[in-house]
Each structure stands twice: as C-alpha cells, then as structure tokens.
Amino acid sequence: MTEPSRTPVRERLLDAAQAVIESSGWAAVTMSGVAGAAGVSRQTVYNEFGTKHGLAEHLALRELQRFLTVVSTRMRAEADILDGIRAACEGTLQLGEESLLVRTIVGTAPASRDNDFLTILTTESGEIVDAAVMVVQQTIDELYPPTGLDADELRTVVEAMVRLVLSSLTRPSRPPVAAAADIAWIVGMVLDGAAVRRPATG
C-alpha cells in the first residue's frame, strides 16, 4: 500500500468516496457511484485504485497525512520529549474524535461487509505504522536531546507508541487526554530505564 502522487482526478474521486462514507457508510460506496459523483467513467476509478479495497487504502493514507501534520506540530511546540509525545498523542486522538471518516470507520467496522477499513487499520496497518514511526522518530531526533536509546531501540519504542495510539483510535476506551498521558508515561518509563541495556539476543 503505497501513496502515489495525487492528481486532480484522484483527489475528486477520494473526495466523492469520503462524502459517501460520511453520509451513508463504507458499504454504500460503489465504484460506479464514486465515478458518477466525480464526473468520470467507472473505468477511471478502477484505473486509479484497482479495487474498492484499493480505494479504501488511498483514503486511509490521505487521512494519515492529516494526523502526521498534527503530530509534527504538537511535538514542535514542546521543549521536553515526554511533553511532546503526550501532546502529539493527545492531538492525534482528538483529531480521531473529530474526523468524520475515522468515526464512521470505527462505527461501521463490525459489519462484515465494512471490513476493508478495519483490515487496513489492524492486520494491514504495517505501512501506516511505518509512515507514522518514521515521522515521529525523525522529529524526536531533530528536536530533543539523545534519549539513551540507539536507533533500533528508539524505533521499537516509537512503534509501540504508534500502535497504542492506533488501538486507541480504533477501540477508544478513555478520553484523549487520559489515553495520551498513559502512553507518555509508558514511554517515560522506558526512557528512564534506558541505561539498563537489553541483553543481546542470539
């Protein structure tokens, strides 16, 4: 699942699909319906996305960019790494509550015919996680003093943080402020113990 360069046609198609999702749910989205709303042929939709699942992937990746912008902005506003992580997690979870697309995905996921997005955000979430990890790790390296972790260890910590945020987005159980504070506390525990090196694995 890679994000290709966007074209005006692709953006219109994604906008059309998102409008249907927000009004009627993912199950109501059809390739022909998206084509009609965007004023193009159905074949154009297939050429752009391949399948309906491919369309869902592109929608998820487009939404991801909004979240990563919030992450970067929130972290750059904080001088302390844990404050930055807490603020980034809180902003991401708040955006998840405000995003009609995310809330619709979460609300319709249990229906078997709406599993495209659930799969993308869970079992096929690797590319989303990788993109988020890259942004967060680069931002940490740029803004904050050395953590005491090497690059691989830091990536492991950041990936765990990203997956916790993703889990909180798809299965929210606590308010964003509380969930973000919990995640930052977990990361802080790891950073506090960074001097205790993990034994080498053979």
Nearest alpha-carbon partner for 4 in 73, 55, 77:
55
- Is the pLDDT assigned to residue 197 strictly greater than 60? no
Which pLDDT tens digit goes with each residue over 47-67?
Answer: 999 998 889 888 888 888 999
Average pLDDT over residues 138-157: 93
In this prediction, residue 31 carries a pLDDT of 94
- Is the pLDDT assigned to residue 158 strictly greater than 70? yes
In this prediction, residue 140 carries a pLDDT of 95
Whole-angstrom distance, CA of residue 61 vs CA of residue 183: 23
- Is the pLDDT assigned to residue 42 strictly greater than 70? yes
Kindly indicate the confidence band of residue 103, based on its pLDDT and cuts at 50, 70 and 90.
confident
- Is the pLDDT assigned to residue 105 strictly greater than 70? no
Decide: 109 and 117 in contact? Cβ < 8 Å: yes
Average pLDDT over residues 135-145: 94
Single pTM value for the model: 0.79
Higher pLDDT, 199 or 65: 65
- Is the pLDDT assigned to residue 96 strictly greater than 70? yes
Mean of all residue pLDDT scores within the chain: 85
The dihedral sign for the CA sequence 92, 143, 133, 191: negative
Higher pLDDT, 107 or 75: 75
| Cα within 13 Å of Cα(94), Cβ side | 12
In this prediction, residue 40 carries a pLDDT of 93
Q: Does an H or E element contain 12, and which?
A: helix 8-24
Six-digit token string for 28: 């109501």
Kindly indicate the confidence band of residue 3, based on its pLDDT and cuts at 50, 70 and 90.
very low
